[in-house]
Chain A
Amino acid sequence: GQQLNQSPQSMFIQEGEDVSMNCTSSSIFNTWLWYKQDPGEGPVLLIALYKAGELTSNGRLTAQFGITRKDSFLNISASIPSDVGIYFCAGREMGFRAGNNRKLIWGLGTSLAVNP
Chain B
Amino acid sequence: DGGITQSPKYLFRKEGQNVTLSCEQNLNHDAMYWYRQDPGQGLRLIYYSQIVNDFQKGDIAEGYSVSREKKESFPLTVTSAQKNPTAFYLCASSTPNEQFFGPGTRLTVL
Which of A's residues lie within 8 Å of B, judged by CB?
Answer: 1, 3, 31, 33, 35, 40-45, 48, 50, 88, 90, 98-99, 102-104, 106-109
Contact = CB atoms under 8 A, between A and B. Distances in A.
Contacts, number: 55
A interface secondary structure, majority = loop
A1 B59 contact: yes
Interface residues of B, number: 27
A100 to B, nearest CB: 8
A98 B95 CA distance: 9
Interface string B36-71: 000011111100101000000011000000000000
B interface secondary structure, majority = strand
Nearest to A86: B42
Given A40-B104, A42-B90, A43-B90, A104 B97 contact: no
